[in-house]
Structure 1
Amino acid sequence: MFLYLLVLVVLVYLYRWIRELPRVPDKSSRYVYVTGCDSGFGNLLARHLDQNGFRVIAGCFTERGEEELKKNCSSSLITAHLDVRSKDSVAKVAAMIRDTTGDKGLWAVVNNAGTAVPSAMCDWLEVEDYRSMLEVNLLGVVSVTLSVLPLIKKARGRVVNVASVFGRISAAGGPYTISKYGVEAFNDSLRWGMKPFGVKVLCIEPGFFKTNVTDVGVQSRSLETVWKKMPQEIRDEYGQDYFHQSLEILKTKVAPMCDADLMKVVSCMEHAVAARRPRSRYSPGWDAKFFWLPLSYMPSCVSDYVLTASAIPLARNAK
């Protein structure tokens, strides 16, 4: 019985693999708009799509990001300064894309731009800390998507939203998981809403990878900044040992979990853009597939126990 079940599973995965192999034709005539191309996934994706023949429009936050990308890509790649928090900046890039694509429309937008700082316990932060991250990670995704959606409808193309496994389970305090849950909700409602127009809406839910978002140095400095500006009353409630052990958890548990192979994520993004039959969701990373996503389906009492088990020493030190 077990052998038959194993054969069935293998056949199902083989069928899916074969079914998902075909790619769209005429890549050189298809424009793809990628946000957050200064570094990380966005930078690698822009270069990868450019090498594969797509017409890439790369949104960068800095001039240095634009210059570095141009050096490493073909002359067909277009860069643009983009601040997803700014209505004017988003509209300006959308107008440029409209003029560039003409009657063809926009084949795909990949909403990759995001930030993970500040990140801390919920009551360590102020509402402005939440607002600043939501403006980038959630409202930026909505703003960019709506700005080019008519062009994507024209091309019967795709919207690719980069969320996170933390959009499926809240394993950290602060606004990051809230923003990613919001991206998931926006993605789901847009997906069924766009079906009558032939537009596919896909979601990328990466696990832990070595990028600026998970950089221990960046996260530690952010945590230190948050700790220093907190009211003394809250610092006294938690205690100095709690803070130091929080920094230690970043170094000993978060850092070792991060995968250095960013192409695992970029390959999923490329498939979402280029495959004739893309998946609705992609979960790159072994931790996403075999830990975070299964944990998200567990009863709350189980997931809470697993998530707090590593923080028991911290809880004991909280005053």
Structure 2
Amino acid sequence: MFLYVIVLILSFYVYRWFRELGRVPDKSDKFVYITGCDSGFGNLLARHLDNKGFRVIAGCYSEKGEDELKKICTDKLTTLHLDVTDNDNVKKVADAIKTLVGQRGLWAVVNNAGVSVPTAAYDWLGIEDFKHMIDVNLYGVIAVTLSVLPLIKKAKGRVVNVASVFGRISPIGGAYCISKYGVEAFNDSLRICMAPFGVKVLCIEPGFFRTTVTDSCLIKSHLEKLWERLPQDVKDDYGSDYLDKVSVVMRERFEKMSDGDLMKVVNCMEHAVAAVRPRTRYSPGWDAKFFWLPLSYMPTFISDAFFLRNGVKPKGSIL
């Protein structure tokens, strides 16, 4: 019986591997719009798809990001200034894309732009600390998608949304997990709504990778700013050495957990864009597959106990 199960599982993976080999033809005629191309996954994906022959439209926040991409990519790549939190700018970029793609429509949009700070305990934060991250990570995804959805429908193309394993489980305070849960919900409902039009909607849920999102120095810097503005009674609750303890634990764990091979994520993105039969969801990273996602299916008392046991406890903890 055990051997039968093993053979069945192996047969399934071999079948899936063969089924997913096919790639769409005529890449040179297909436009792909990517947000957040200044660095990280978006930058690598723009370069990768450009090398594969796609017509890449790279949305960059900075002029420097645009210039650097232009230097290393072919003249088929187009860069556009994009601030996903600025609705007028999003519409302006969509109009430029409409002119570029013409009657062919837009083959794919990859919603990659995202930020991860400020992230902290909820009693360190005010409501204003949630706005920018939700604007970028959630409203930006929705705004960009809606701005080009008619072009996607025309091409019977794809929408690729970059969420996170923290869109499945929520162990940290702040807007990051909230925004990624929102992306997951938007992705699922959009997938159902667009299926009748031949539009595929795919989701990428990376684990920990070495990007600005997991930059421990950046996160520490924001934590220090938040700590400085806390009232003394809240600082007393946590203890004067709490921030130092968090910084040490965060640095050690991020170094151990963060995968430096960003191509694991980029290859999933490329498959979502280019495969004849893409997957509905991709979970790049061994930590995503074998730790975070399984933990998200565990009973709440198990996942809570894990995070409480392994987290840095405040001075006033009753646990």
Count of matched residue pairs = 318
After TM superposition, what 4+ stretches of structure 1 lie above 3 angstroms from structure 2?
315-319
Q: Could you tell me which residue of structure 2 aligns to residue 39 of structure 1? A: 39
8 A contact 1:24–1:274 mirrored in 2: yes
Which is further off, 37-46 or 168-177? Answer: 168-177
Residue 225 of structure 1, CA deviation: 1.0
Residue 314 of structure 1 is matched in structure 2 by 313
Output aligned runs, 1:254-293, within 5 Å. Answer: 254-293=254-293
Say whether 1:197 aligns with 2:162.
Answer: no
The CA distance in 2 between the partners of 1:231 and 1:74, in whole Å, is 53
Secondary structure at the aligned position of 1:113 is classed as coil
- Provide the C-alpha distance between the structure 1 equivalents of 2:276 and 2:28, rounded to a whole number of angstroms: 16
What is the rounded CA distance, in whole Å, between the counterparts of 1:230 and 1:130 in structure 2? 17
1:15-36 superposed Cα distances (whole Å, 9 cap, x missing partner): 0000000000000000000000
Gaps in structure 2 of 5+ consecutive residues: none
Residue 128 of structure 1 corresponds to: 128
SS in 1 for 2:214: coil
Deviation at 1:318, TM superposition (A): 4.5
Q: Aligned AA for 1:273?
A: V
Aligned counterparts of 2:23 and 2:282: Cα–Cα separation in 1: 17
One-letter amino acid of the structure 2 residue matched with residue 160 of structure 1: V
Q: Deviations over 1:203-261 (max 9, x none)?
A: 00000000000011111111111111222222122112222211112111122100000
Does structure 1 retain, via aligned residues, the 8 Å contact 2:237–2:315?
Answer: no
Cα distance in structure 2, aligned partners of 1:69 and 1:104: 25
| Cross-structure match for 1:245 | 245
Q: Over the residues paired in the alignment, what is the CA RMSD in angstroms?
A: 1.1
TM-score by length of 1: 0.98
> Which stretch shifts more, 250-259 or 204-213?
250-259
Kindly indicate whether residue 8 of structure 2 is the aligned counterpart of residue 8 of structure 1.
yes
1:110-259 maps to which residues of 2 (within 5 A)? 110-259=110-259
The one-letter amino acid of 1:30's match is K
Partner SS, residue 241 of structure 2:
helix
How many percent identity over aligned positions? 64
Letter in 2 for 1:16: R
CA distance in 2, matches of 1:212, 1:88: 26
Helix, strand or coil at the partner of 1:253: helix
- Separation in structure 2 between the aligned mates of residue 250 and residue 268 of structure 1, nearest angstrom: 27
Query: Partners of 1:199 and 1:232 in 2: how far apart?
Result: 53
Do the aligned residues in 2 keep the contact of 1:242 with 1:317 (CA within 8 Å)? no
Shift of 1:282: 0.2
Q: Is the 8 A contact 2:207 2:288 kept in 1?
A: yes
> Which residue type is aligned with residue 192 of structure 2?
W
Q: CA deviation at 1:58?
A: 0.1
Q: TM-score, normalised by structure 2?
A: 0.98
| Partner amino acid, structure 1, of 2:94 | A
- The answer (yes or no) to whether the contact 1:241–1:317 under 8 Å persists in 2 is no
Amino acid at match of 2:277: R
The C-alpha deviation readout for 1:247-287, integer Å capped at 9, x for no partner, is 11211112210000000000000000000000000000000
Structure 1 residue 316, shift from structure 2 partner:
5.0
Q: Distance in 2 between matches of 1:317 and 1:260?
A: 37
Whole-Å separation in 1 of the counterparts to 2:149 and 2:128: 29
